[in-house]
Amino acid sequence: MDEEDFLALIAVLEQQFRDIGAAELADARHYTLRDPATGDARLYDGHRRLKLMLEALGRRIAIEDRATYNTALARINGAVREGGLRDVIVEAADGRIVNLSEAPHLSDVREELRRLIAQILEAPPPATERA
């Protein structure tokens, strides 16, 4: 794939981010490189930007994943000497209670994303963009 291909993929990704209510992940300001000599910022090339955007998506999914909840709960219960933590709830400002134990199972999605990133990384960046 060439730079034009990567930019096309970025456009698709930006639209998907907007569709899931995560437009901030598409903000180009997060994907810039500052030249230490001139102080000027410029966008990463498409290959690099696409990878960073997909990794940002991965972090977003991780904080919604039941596996993260289970890991944290087990770690807490492994550390405390007395009393056990059954679950973790959040009381919203309007008094509504949300139980974090009901977080969705997203491990499969995260695994698929990891595979996708690896496949995209296999495609070398265009020669003019390598630095």
Partner 1 sequence: MDRAAAIAAIQALFAKYRAARAGDIGLLQMLSDGKLYEMYVLSDLVDELTSRGFKLSFVGTSLKFKGSPGMIKTTDPHFEMKRPGSASVDYRIFVDIEFDTLGQNISGAMDDSRRHEVDIVVTTATSGYPRHDEIVLGVECKCVANFSKALVREVLGVRRELSYLTNPPRQSLLTQAGGSPSIQVAANPPSEFRLAYIDPKGMNYEDSPRAFGVDLKHLEP
Residue type at 17?
F
**Which helix (H) or strand (E) element contains residue 17?**
helix 3-19
44 binds partner 1 (CB under 8 A): no
40 binds partner 1 (CB under 8 A): no
Give the count of residues interacting with partner 1 (CB under 8 A): 67
Interface positions, 76-105, toward partner 1 (CB under 8 A)? 76, 78-94, 96, 98-100, 102-105
Of 73, 72, 57, 69, residue with least CA distance to 109: 57
Q: What is the nearest approach in angstroms of partner 1 to the Cβ of residue 2?
A: 9
Interatomic CA distance for residues 6 and 45, integer angstroms: 9
Report yes or no: 66 and 104 within 8 Å, Cβ to Cβ. Answer: yes
Q: What is the nearest approach in angstroms of partner 1 to the Cβ of residue 128?
A: 18
Of 59, 65, 57, residue with least CA distance to 25: 57
38 binds partner 1 (CB under 8 A): no
Please state at what angle helix 3-19 crosses helix 46-62, rounded to 10 degrees. Answer: 30
68 binds partner 1 (CB under 8 A): yes
Interatomic CA distance for residues 67 and 6, integer angstroms: 31
Closer CB to partner 1, 71 or 130, in the complex: 71
Residues that bind partner 1 (CB under 8 A): 1, 5, 8-9, 12-13, 16, 19-22, 24-25, 27, 30, 56-57, 59-65, 67-69, 71-73, 75-76, 78-94, 96, 98-100, 102-106, 108-109, 112-113, 116, 119-120, 122-123
